[in-house]
């Protein structure tokens, strides 16, 4: 996670924090193998995407936004235990995120996707540790199966990415090492 | 020897050692014909470990539903099993990793969490590779980055290196020593087994390890990589290391195996963290 200014991760299991003033929007930090949906306003955050992939889904008209941080391409690698942690995997997690968004009022035809991460984490290493590439391929496949249009892909490379998604606009701030930041 | 190296080595001497019982425990469980009584005798020499062992054996997770609580170490060992006892001793011994390494971007408990993930990864790799020295693998996983405790302040003042250089290479260029060598000096001083010392020293360059320890060094190398890939906290250096592509010749695995290991580490991490924090 080559961020020059590492940010402390919240420790509370329930990481949605509604601040006391009406001017501050809720923020929710999403760890590996987790997803979350917010409606109307707020920020969804995930830190240090290396070989993992962060998928941001957004329905602009319903203002429903969701984010997931997947670690592995397919639930098949986890055997029977996979069912306890479906959000770890691209093939089961992205579908679960979409389902949760639909339950919160999103329209199946209006959801659009932005995909980040899937970096090659190490120099050399061989194909067996190229999990980032596999995660990106599995994400594309899952997104295609769910008929989600992809607006932005910032994947691969050798850098970690931290994401802040603004729920009201669906825009995502992508932070990379060296304080490089870009809204997409 | 440069002044910087001397200063770092001096600082390494001050890192809090684990209880002395740990190295004796690791030695005895590595003996193929050891008995439970041998382990109990060693545990009994350390009051803190004995107390923690009895507390764990009498905790709701293990305690008998009726009858008197366990009062002897031998009974507690019979209930928990020696693997759990070694983990407990290592957990007590590795508390030093909770000091963190903010220079590496590892804040709060992130160095400790990484250490635990690496230990779990090393143990699982040892199971796959059918290595007997599983306790040693778990131990070296916990202490693989102990050198970062010492190097952290110096690294904090360093410019972030480009992604083309390896982070350990930059440490050697800049300070004349890397965190792996510093860590090896520390665990050697603690009298941990030679295989653990070698694994700490060569975990980024396993091919350079002496032949008798090369296998465990490759376990350390892969465990370190898998821990980085399963952790949200890889620090500023996590993606700055080279993986020796020859690891697969020492640890025959498929890509599915490595991904399955990543899942197992993730799955085991929370319960292991809970039990070690208890």
Least confident of B109-118, B184-193, B227-236: B227-236
User: Considering the entire predicted model, what is its pTM?
Assistant: 0.84
Distance CA B44, CA B265 (A): 31
Q: A64 CB contacts (<8 Å, ≥6 apart)?
A: A37, A38, A39, A58, A101, A104, A105, A106
- The answer to whether the CB atoms of A131 and B262 lie below 8 A apart is yes
Q: How confident is the model at residue B32 (pLDDT cuts 50, 70, 90)?
A: confident
Q: How confident is the model at residue B64 (pLDDT cuts 50, 70, 90)?
A: low
Mean pLDDT of B251-267: 89
pLDDT of residue B84: 84
Note whether B235 contacts A: Cβ–Cβ < 8 A. Answer: yes
Mean pLDDT of B243-266: 88
Are A118 and A54 contacting, i.e. CB atoms less than 8 angstroms apart? no
DSSP 3-state of B117? helix
Instruction: Measure the CA dihedral A66/A70/A76/A79, to 10°.
Output: -100
Residues of A in contact with B107 (CB under 8 A): 6, 8
Token pair 């020897």 in the structure block, residue:
B1
Distance CA A32, CA A87 (A): 8
Between B65 and A75, residue with greater pLDDT: A75
Q: Which residues pair with B74 in a beta bridge?
A: none
pLDDT of residue B196: 94
Note whether B247 contacts A: Cβ–Cβ < 8 A. Answer: yes
Closest CA to B232 of A13, A160, A75: A160
* Nearest-neighbour CA in chain B from A47: distance (Å): 7
Residues of B in contact with A84 (CB under 8 A): 267
Query: Best of B203, B223, B239 to disrupt the A interface by mutation (most A CBs within 10 Å)?
Result: B239
Q: What is the value of ipTM here, to two decimals?
A: 0.79
Parallel, antiparallel or unpaired: strands A53-59 and A111-117: antiparallel
Query: Best of A12, A129, A138, A159 to disrupt the B interface by mutation (most B CBs within 10 Å)?
Result: A129
Q: B189 CB contacts (<8 Å, ≥6 apart)?
A: B12, B13, B17
């Amino acid at each position: 996670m080559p961020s020059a200014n590492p940010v402390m991760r919240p420790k509370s299991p329930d990481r949605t924090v509604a601040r006391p003033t009406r001017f501050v929007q809720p923020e929710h930090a999403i760890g590996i193998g987790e997803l979350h949906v917010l409606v109307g306003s707020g920020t969804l955050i995930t830190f240090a995407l290396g070989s993992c992939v962060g998928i941001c889904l957004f329905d602009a008209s319903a203002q429903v936004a969701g984010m997931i941080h997947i670690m592995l391409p397919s639930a098949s690698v986890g055997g029977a235990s996979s069912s306890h942690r479906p959000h770890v995997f691209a093939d089961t997690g992205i579908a679960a995120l979409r389902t949760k968004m639909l339950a919160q009022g999103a329209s199946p035809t209006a959801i659009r996707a932005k995909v980040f991460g899937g970096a090659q984490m190490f120099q050399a290493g061989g194909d067996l540790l190229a999990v980032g590439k596999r995660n990106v391929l599995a994400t594309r496949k899952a997104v295609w199966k769910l008929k989600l249009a992809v607006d932005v892909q910032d994947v691969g490379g050798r850098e970690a990415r931290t994401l802040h998604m603004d729920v009201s606009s669906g825009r995502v701030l992508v932070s990379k090492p060296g304080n490089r930041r870009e809204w997409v | 020897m440069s002044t910087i190296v001397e200063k770092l080595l001096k600082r390494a001497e001050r890192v809090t050692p684990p209880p002395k019982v740990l190295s004796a425990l690791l030695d005895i469980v590595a003996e193929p014909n050891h008995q439970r009584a041998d382990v109990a005798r060693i545990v009994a020499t350390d009051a803190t470990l004995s107390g923690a062992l009895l507390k764990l054996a009498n905790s709701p997770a293990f305690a008998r539903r009726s009858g008197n609580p366990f009062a002897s170490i031998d009974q507690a060992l019979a209930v928990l099993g020696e693997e759990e006892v070694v983990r407990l001793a290592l957990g007590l011994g590795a508390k030093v990793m909770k000091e963190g390494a903010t220079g590496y971007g590892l804040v709060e408990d992130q160095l400790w969490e990484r250490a635990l993930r690496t230990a779990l990864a090393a143990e699982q790799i040892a199971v796959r590779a059918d290595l007997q020295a599983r306790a040693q693998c778990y131990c070296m996983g916990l202490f693989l980055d102990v050198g970062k405790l010492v190097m952290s302040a110096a690294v904090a003042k360093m410019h972030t290196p480009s992604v083309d250089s390896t982070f350990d290479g930059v440490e050697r260029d800049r300070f004349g020593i890397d965190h792996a060598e510093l860590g090896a000096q520390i665990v050697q001083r603690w009298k941990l087994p030679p295989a653990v010392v070698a694994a700490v020293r060569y975990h980024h360059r396993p091919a350079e390890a002496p032949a008798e320890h090369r296998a465990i060094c490759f376990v350390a190398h892969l465990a370190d990589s898998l821990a980085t890939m399963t952790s949200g906290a890889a620090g500023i250096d996590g993606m700055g290391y080279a993986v020796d592509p020859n690891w697969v010749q020492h640890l025959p695995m498929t890509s599915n195996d490595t991904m399955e290991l990543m899942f197992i580490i993730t799955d085991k991490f929370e319960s292991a963290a809970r039990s070690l924090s208890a």
